[in-house]
């Protein structure tokens, strides 16, 4: 019995949701190149595409965006729970808990037909930014800034977070980030969501499972580690940064924000994120981009490793004033779309996901009673 540790190279299922060519650096959603989507669509269009399989017409997008906007507000019971949770809790733990409670409040939680699945999908996608922003309002001892139906998904989140309408550069930077994080084939958290769906568990359970999986530092948790690293390097000069990199490489320590399990060339999302980071940096004057570029150049020169999607996303989040410990939730705000698209696909084409293991322990051991051991 051959073993593929980490399931590396194992093809577990068929999907028409997204495609990666790691050698050529290609990412497609439903057959559309990520560069085209990043440059010419909104997050709402991409949500529609991933959930329904085709790009919307003007009228379809208007109706869909309206429905998303109308679903943003949270039930009073959820708001009450948020006010009673510790303000020192990690925000992703709070988000995971609220997903579970949303399921408890849904009287059709166990219905997984396409119509009900789409209703739940829109509800979860619409309410995720509100949960994140409300908890941030509460922990900062502010009044809740309620959703603004006139604003798009990204702009509304920044409005709820900061209490002021964002300018077009801020809005577009976050909108782009959400598009680029929305889907990425069978990554660990998406696989966790599909495993839950394969048991015919409810959508909320799948999202909770995926959230817990993405929380790990080898997945979505990397983004906060990147900004912590950049803050550490910000006061260093070029020579000191290079010495820092040399020390990391010599000791075999991981440099956060570099390398990818699938891509053997530059991640196509990085190019688009860097453009947004450059625009933001020019306005905010925080110099995150210059530092990021310098570090990326040194690491590539010494190790031939490309930066990944976490690397420039952190510069965007920092320039938007998003707290460091909310970075994972930014990832979730986008990736929940992919999770749900995969769960809906699993429900419709289901086979229980149940891989094998190779047993390497002892066999045929002689049992002894407890008083004889």
Domains and CATH numbers, the chain: 32-217+323-348 (1.10.580.10), 222-319 (1.10.230.10)
Residue 265 is predicted with a pLDDT of 86
3-state secondary structure of 29: strand
* Averaged pLDDT, 98-119: 97
pTM for the full model?
0.95
For residue 185, the 8-state DSSP code is S
Identify the band that residue 310 occupies on the pLDDT scale cut at 50, 70 and 90: confident
Give the pLDDT of residue 32.
99
Answer yes or no: is pLDDT of 189 > 90.
yes
The pLDDT assigned to 309 comes to 87
Rounded distance between C-alpha atoms, residue 147 and residue 92, angstroms: 20
Binning pLDDT at 50, 70 and 90, where does residue 14 land? very high
Worst-scoring range by mean pLDDT, 100-104, 116-120, 213-217?
A: 213-217
Please say if the pLDDT value at position 88 is more than 80. yes
Which of 120-124, 287-291, 316-320 has the highest mean predicted lDDT (pLDDT)? 120-124
H-helix or E-strand containing 61?
helix 58-70
State pLDDT tens for residues 246-293: 999 999 888 888 888 788 888 999 999 999 999 998 888 778 888 999
Average pLDDT value for residue range 345-366: 96
Predicted confidence (pLDDT) at residue 144 exceeds the cutoff of 90: yes
Task: Give the model's pLDDT for residue 141.
Answer: 97
Q: Is position 54 annotated as part of the catalytic site?
A: no
- The owner of tokens 């699993």 is 346
Name the catalytic one among 175, 281, 310, 345.
Answer: 310
Average pLDDT, the chain: 95
State the pLDDT at residue 2. 85
CA distance 263 to 309: 11
Q: Which residue has the higher pLDDT, 234 or 54?
A: 54
What local confidence, expressed as pLDDT, does residue 268 receive? 94
With bands split at pLDDT 50, 70 and 90, how would you rate the model's confidence at 224? confident
Model confidence at 332, in pLDDT bands (50, 70, 90)? very high
Q: Which residues contact 373 (CB under 8 A, 6 or more apart)?
A: none
- Burial of residue 304 (number of CB atoms within 10 Å: 0-12, 13-18, 19+): exposed
pLDDT of residue 128 exceeding 90? yes
CA distance 158 to 170: 8
310 is an active site residue: yes
Indicate which residue of 260, 267, 281, 345 is catalytic.
260
């Amino acid at each position: 019995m051959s073993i593929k540790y980490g399931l590396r190279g194992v093809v577990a299922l068929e999907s028409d949701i997204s495609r990666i060519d790691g050698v050529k650096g290609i990412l497609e959603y439903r057959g559309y190149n990520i560069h085209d989507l990043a440059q010419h669509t909104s997050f709402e269009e991409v949500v529609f595409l991933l959930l329904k399989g085709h790009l919307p017409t003007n009228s379809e997008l208007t109706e869909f965006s309206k429905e998303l906007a109308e679903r943003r507000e949270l039930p009073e019971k959820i708001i009450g729970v948020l006010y009673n949770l510790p303000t020192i809790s990690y925000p992703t733990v709070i988000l995971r808990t609220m997903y579970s409670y949303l399921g408890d409040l849904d009287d059709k939680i166990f219905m997984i037909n396409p119509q009900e699945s789409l209703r739940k999908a829109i509800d979860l996608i619409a309410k995720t930014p509100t949960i994140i922003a409300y908890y941030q309002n509460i922990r900062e001892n502010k009044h809740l800034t309620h959703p603004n139906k006139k604003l798009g998904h990204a702009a509304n989140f920044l409005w709820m977070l900061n209490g002021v309408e964002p300018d077009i550069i801020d809005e577009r930077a976050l909108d782009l980030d959400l598009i680029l994080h929305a889907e990425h084939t069978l990554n660990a958290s998406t696989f966790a969501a599909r495993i839950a769906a394969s048991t015919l568990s409810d959508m909320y359970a799948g999202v909770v499972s995926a959230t817990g999986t993405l929380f790990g530092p080898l997945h979505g948790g990397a983004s906060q580690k990147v900004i912590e690293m950049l803050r550490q390097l910000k006061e260093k000069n070029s020579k000191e940064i290079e010495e820092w990199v040399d020390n990391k490489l010599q000791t075999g320590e991981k440099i956060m924000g570099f390398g990818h399990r699938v891509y053997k060339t530059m991640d196509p999302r990085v190019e688009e994120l860097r453009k947004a980071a450059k625009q933001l940096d020019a306005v905010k004057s925080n110099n995150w981009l210059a530092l990021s570029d310098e570090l990326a150049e040194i690491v590539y020169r010494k190790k031939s490793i490309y930066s990944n999607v976490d690397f420039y996303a952190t510069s965007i989040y920092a320039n938007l004033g998003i707290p460091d410990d909310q970075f994972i939730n930014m990832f979730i705000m986008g990736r929940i779309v992919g999770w749900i698209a995969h769960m809906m696909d699993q429900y419709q084409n289901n086979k229980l996901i149940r891989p094998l293991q190779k047993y390497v322990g002892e066999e045929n051991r002689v049992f002894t009673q407890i008083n004889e051991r």
